[in-house]
Amino acid sequence: MGTTFGHINIVVNDMDATIAFYRLLGLDLADGYEWPEGSGAIHVNAQMPGGHYLAFDNHKMAEIWNPHFDPDRNEGNIVVGLLVESGDDVDRIYRSVEEAGHRVGQAPYDAFFGARYAIVIDPDGNEVGLKGPIDEASKYIPSDST
């Protein structure tokens, strides 16, 4: 049996802020729930098509499934990619995130891969790419910026 993609799990500092942020991006998130009861360990999933999901755990939950969890580890560099219905949605969501006072990264632009694209930053500093539909006719080879 081969390896297949299942989910992305993001460990967060402030679950309420994270849920509010990703709801602002348009994800359908329930409220976080504590398990086991009284532990302070909080978890929530955002279901995606095809049975995949984006999971969020606070530090106490991460310590349950990873006894080596280190909240001070500053390694890794991922971008969570979200697909949106249109290029206009990329612009609209980016503006709503910025207007809500969140940090933003790359402003919306027509990217070389043929889609409207932008990057916003979640409350824990994770970059979230917003990508509209790809238009094959809009693809181009980027110029060397060095």
The single-letter DSSP state of residue 112 is: T
- Residues 35 and 85 placed together within one structural domain of the fold: no
Q: Is residue 101 part of a domain?
A: yes
Domain housing 5: 1-70
- Residues 28 and 47 placed together within one structural domain of the fold: yes
- At residue 34, the 3 state secondary structure works out as strand
pLDDT digits (tens, 9 = 90+) for 89-128: 999 999 999 999 999 999 999 999 999 999 999 999 999 9
pLDDT confidence bin for 146, thresholds 50/70/90: very low
Sequence-distant (≥ 6) Cβ neighbours of residue 85 within 8 angstroms:
132, 133
- Residues 25 and 88 placed together within one structural domain of the fold: no
Per-residue pLDDT, 116: 97
How far apart CA 73 and CA 82 sit, in angstroms, is: 25
pLDDT digits (tens, 9 = 90+) for 11-70: 999 999 999 999 999 999 999 999 999 999 999 999 888 888 999 999 999 999 988 888
- Residues 48 and 95 placed together within one structural domain of the fold: no
Q: Is residue 146 part of a domain?
A: no
Per-residue pLDDT, 68: 87
CB 124 within 8 A of CB 10: yes
- Residues 60 and 10 placed together within one structural domain of the fold: yes
Q: What is the CATH number of the domain that holds 53?
A: 3.10.180.10
